[in-house]
Structure 1
Amino acid sequence: MNTTNTNGFIESKINNNIATITFGHPASNSFPTHLLKELTETLNVISENNAVSIVILKSQGDGAFCAGASFDELLSINNFEEGKTFFSGFANVINAMRTCNKIIVGRVQGKAVGGGVGLASACDYVFATQKASIKLSELAIGIGPFVIEPVVSRKIGKTATTQLTLTAHDWKTPQWAFEKGLYSEIFDSTDEMDLALEKFTLKLASYNPDSLKEMKQVFWENTTHWSTLLYDRAAISGQLVLSDFTKNALNQLKK
């Protein structure tokens, strides 16, 4: 599956029972609605593919891993339904990662903001570099990390999520993310990370796929209510994004 255009792309390739999903967008690998939809569909298809045991989720280039929501699209939202639909796109992706039958390994080569932190948190194991700082900036623009909070809190705990959320203007270091459990391993360079990632995923792909599938379900126990929770959270964000505070903050950031 490969969709490429000036508004970004989702690409998936399968080799050695490993599916590599790559996403990209000119605006720091951010996500507009159509890319969220394509990523969800790609994950759902791969989940049912018996030729795949492991999924690698990565982004394009050597800059930011993911800047989260598309600022342009956030600014274009004019009513509650549009807002809820947009944020439901992130809910769809997280739920697709949660229910995917395959272990998902994240490759985080650079900074992750907002929804990008959510994507990393929804991976089962994450490789990152010393450039992979993180930030939840949502409060600074008048909304909040409502949709991704459950998956971030599941990964790093409620206390660390609170710290990350309330310091909305500050970057947390990769070491902080590693110590809190978001990153499983961190490396000094992308080359070192990729060598370790290849070795790790090839080893995982050699294991019994039925065992991996069953362990995936164990890892995500007690999250079935997310099939409604995340959309309730999307409704909160969908309302808040209409505020004058958020519109002004987004316009200031675009200058």
Structure 2
Amino acid sequence: MSDPYVKQTIENEVGYIEFFHPSHNSLPGNVLAKLANTIKEAGQNDAIKVIVLRSGGDRTFCAGASFNELINISDEETGKVFFTGFANVINAMRKCPKFIIGRVQGKTVGGGVGLASATDYCMATKFASIKLSELNVGIGPFVVGPAVQRKLGLSGMSQIAIDANSFYSAEWAKDKGLYAQVFESTEALDEGVKAFSEHLCTYNPEAMRDMKTMFWSGTENWDNLLADRAAISGRLVLSEFTKETLKRFK
């Protein structure tokens, strides 16, 4: 089994940020922190014009929050700190002055749907179904909710948030606006991401920066909003319902 990591490579002015965890690319606090910092640094790196966010492995893009960490949360402040990790990544993506292209090769759950939603343009395979599973364990998609709602609309977000036990297909996600393009295979996806990202690098960086600011207009309160949402999740994760449910999942 490989160790968790976050790494960045640069190729033809495209910065590829990749995260990995052996447990289906789940996201513990240390990986979230490294991911947020790497995105911030890439946004300030003049050698990078466009960013691609991807995960390691062939199957799951992201399984969301680390259940091992959730089970070990014993007080509200610790819970808030953990969920703030997701808030920090989403806010780093929101504030990054460069377009972030999502590369989603497989299923994505919970917080992973939030990451995909926070990209500026997302490309996926036909295997990249999505699920907001938080209600299943007694919490709710509070922190990632604003990012998901921004892409899927309130109707789409509430549908998958309430139907927390179902995967929704990549085509459904494309129809709702989460995915811009859906490919038949990972190989085709990678070719598409590379060509699209490198072509973006030929555009005016200043124009792209101003466009990104325009696209994210109205989210200026997310630093406070997502912090408040993290506190809600930090409280709910201590509920008896959630504690018992997490033990069964484990």
| 1:90 and 2:86 aligned | yes
Q: What amino acid does structure 2 have at the position aligned with 1:220? A: W
- Which string of whole-angstrom CA distances, capped at 9 and with x for unpartnered residues, describes residues 50-75 of structure 1? 11110000000101000000000000
How big is the shift at 1:193?
1.0
What is aligned with 2:170? 174
How big is the shift at 1:7?
4.9
Q: What amino acid does structure 2 have at the position aligned with 1:28? A: H
> Which runs of at least 4 in structure 1 moved beyond 6 Å after TM superposition?
none
Task: Give the secondary-structure state (helix, strand or coil) at the position aligned to 1:238.
Answer: helix
- Which string of whole-angstrom CA distances, capped at 9 and with x for unpartnered residues, describes residues 37-59 of structure 1? 00011011111111111000000
| 1:220 and 2:194 aligned | no
How big is the shift at 1:195?
1.0
What is aligned with 1:240? 236
5 Å-filtered alignment, 1:195-206, equals 195-206=191-202
Tell me how large the CA RMSD over aligned residues is. Answer: 1.0
- Which string of whole-angstrom CA distances, capped at 9 and with x for unpartnered residues, describes residues 93-115 of structure 1? 00000000110000000000000
Q: What amino acid does structure 2 have at the position aligned with 1:240? A: L
Structure 1 counterpart of 2:227, from 224, 228, 231: 231
How big is the shift at 1:6?
5.8
Alignment partners' CA distance in 2, 1:11 and 1:174: 26
Task: Give the secondary-structure state (helix, strand or coil) at the position aligned to 2:27.
Answer: coil
What is aligned with 1:119? 115
Q: What amino acid does structure 1 have at the position aligned with 2:188? A: E
What is aligned with 1:155? 151
Tell me the TM-score normalised to structure 1 length: 0.96
| 1:186 and 2:182 aligned | yes
Alignment partners' CA distance in 2, 1:7 and 1:87: 22
| 1:56 and 2:49 aligned | no
Task: Give the secondary-structure state (helix, strand or coil) at the position aligned to 1:58.
Answer: strand
Task: Give the secondary-structure state (helix, strand or coil) at the position aligned to 2:10.
Answer: strand
Q: What amino acid does structure 1 have at the position aligned with 2:137? A: I
What is aligned with 1:78? 74
| 1:10 and 2:6 aligned | yes
What is aligned with 2:98? 102
Structure 2 counterpart of 1:210, from 206, 209, 212: 206
Question: Mind listing any 5+ residue stretches in structure 2 that lack a counterpart?
Answer: none
Task: Give the secondary-structure state (helix, strand or coil) at the position aligned to 1:157.
Answer: helix
What is aligned with 2:140? 144
| 1:134 and 2:130 aligned | yes
How big is the shift at 1:252?
1.1
